[in-house]
Chains A and B, each alone.
Chain A
Amino acid sequence: MNYAHLHLLFNHFPIIGTIVGLGLFLVSFLGKNQDLRRGSYIVFAAVALMSIPAFLSGYGAQLMVKGPGVSDALIQRHQGAAMLSLWFVLATGALALVGLWQAQRTTYPPRWNVAAVLLFSLLTVALMARTGNTGGDIRHPEVRPGQTLATAQDTVTEGTIGAIFHVFEPTPEKFSEAVTFSKWWWTFMMILHFLGLIMIVGTVGLLDVRIMGFLKQLPTAPLHRFLPWAMAGLGVNIVTGLLAFIGLPENYIYSGVFWLKMLSLLLLGANAAVFYLTDIFAGVESLKAGEDAPMSAKLIAASSLFLWFAVITFGRYIQPLGDTLRPGN
């Protein structure tokens, strides 16, 4: 398996997922179906998480297909489109999580949230379509208008719609330079990345430890009120992490431990899904002081704690083990 496989494995989720999410979301307006709306929000959050490996593996795939027969300009255009759609799919996912959190208390997500999710998911579908199209153009010359097979051109001619999109798309190189322009800015991002890590470990770790059966004097319901802080820390770390990757992709794509860190994060997503979307959460949602959690919840909590420490461990070794996957190594 290589990066191109990995990219093909992940890159369909954000495109199809946002369309499915938007479909469910729009249907939920008919008859005000809150279950359907909740479902669409969960899809948006899952798609946001899946878009991260889709984006990261694209950088690796780029290195593999570069060469004769493949247009650099087409790759650049796709990369710019991906860089733009990435932030919108993440914002949609973040807004969906805020909505899910608020709906816990009020049953409905607030109106501002529904409006924001509608706006961002519509924009994301459009941007994802553009990303998918420009990506397909790289390797599927049969869908390129006016092209003979295996023609590698240096410039891209945009249609009317493409030209509109292109105005908003960053130039990949300039984006990378903007992130690495100063070592102080870089250090500032890394400081934020550490503070985000501390927020996650402090809050999620405490809940995990309580569910596992330590610190049983603490009731779980109020502990859960720290969750937005963990999510804020996660948000900060996803943004700073992605910016660092965009700034110095070569530091990451050849590092085996970097991919293991990403795998651990996906497993954490799966772990959280099992926790919140099954009856397990209901069983530990409001444990009183001294009450024991069921074994299933303890296992989920232990996996969460283990995986977060795996994330830290793999992250710390990216620097010394940054070259393990470099060809010829």
Chain B
Amino acid sequence: MAVPLIFNTIEQTALSTWLRESTSVFGFYFILLFHTIGMSLVVGASAVVDLRILGIASALPLKPLKRLFTIMWVGLALNVTTGLFLLTAYPTKALTNPDFYIKLSFIALAVITMRKMSIQVFDDASLDEMAMIAKGKAMAAWSLVFWVGAVSAGRLLSETSKYVLYGHLWGS
């Protein structure tokens, strides 16, 4: 399958070129840093809620953990934003790599689970703690699986990409 020409167009833009080539510490790695921080916020907060529902630190009241969802959404927003910048820098590299779509799928599943848990477990004031745990247990376990999948697929991106840039295979 031919690589769409639009990737080349994006790579030629000033922003994309600057992100890749700037030697400033506020260039590519600055974006990557905030992508990592966003990840630690969204996955870290999710993991704590999931572990609590699965029985860790069971003396911790569950209801106030609802506020952790704000941290999760902030982390997610940060990562969507920084992710778009990273994609602007290397569109061919990401979008020709099947692993990139695996990563996005894991993130989509994790975020759907997160939202479902927020609405069905934490927003329902009629549930007591026991009922919240009963309802949330499977979601919590899946959430952990999806996030581990997303992080793993993310780390694998650099090892699995075929192209560096439009028309440039790795090592050519």
Contact = CB atoms under 8 A, between A and B. Distances in A.
A223 B52 CA distance: 10
Contact of B60 (A183, A184, A198, A223): A223
B37 to A, nearest CB: 6
Contacts of B45: 202, 206
Interface string A302-326: 0000000100110011011100000
Interface stretch (B5-13, B89-97, B126-134, B150-158): B150-158
B33 interface: yes
B32 interface: yes
Given A191-B152, A194-B155, A316-B36, A219 B29 contact: no
Chain A contact-residue range equals 20 to 34
Q: Is the interface of B mostly helix, strand, loop or mixed?
A: helix
A237 to B, nearest CB: 12
Interface residues of B, number: 34
B40 interface: yes
A188 to B, nearest CB: 9
B155 A187 contact: yes
Interface string A113-155: 0000000000000000000000000000000000000000000
Contact of B155 (A190, A201, A226): A190
B119 interface: no
A319 B29 CA distance: 9
A195 interface: yes
B147 to A, nearest CB: 8
B48 interface: yes
A271 B148 CA distance: 30
B151 A226 contact: no
Interface in A9-36: none
Contacts of B40: 197-198, 201-202, 205, 312
A63 interface: no
Interface string A175-210: 000000001100100110011011101110110000
B44 interface: yes
Contacts of B64: 215, 217-218, 289
B59 A222 contact: yes
Interface in B141-163: 147-148, 151-152, 154-156, 159
Interface string B36-62: 110111011101100100001111110
B39 to A, nearest CB: 7
Contact of B151 (A198, A289, A313, A321): A198
Contacts of A217: 61, 64, 67
B151 to A, nearest CB: 5
A194 B152 CA distance: 9
Contacts of B61: 217-219, 222, 289
A275 interface: no
Contacts of B14: none
A37 to B, nearest CB: 27
Given A221-B59, A222-B60, A319-B29, A198 B155 contact: no
A313 B36 CA distance: 9
Interface of B: 25, 28-29, 32-33, 36-37, 39-41, 43-45, 47-48, 51, 56-61, 64-65, 67-68, 147-148, 151-152, 154-156, 159
Given A202-B40, A317-B25, 19 more contacts: A183-B159, A198-B43, A198-B151, A201-B40, A201-B44, A202-B47, A206-B68, A217-B61, A219-B60, A219-B61, A221-B59, A223-B57, A225-B57, A225-B60, A226-B48, A229-B51, A229-B56, A289-B64, A321-B25
11 contacts: A187-B156, A203-B48, A206-B45, A215-B64, A218-B64, A219-B60, A225-B56, A226-B51, A229-B51, A289-B61, A320-B28
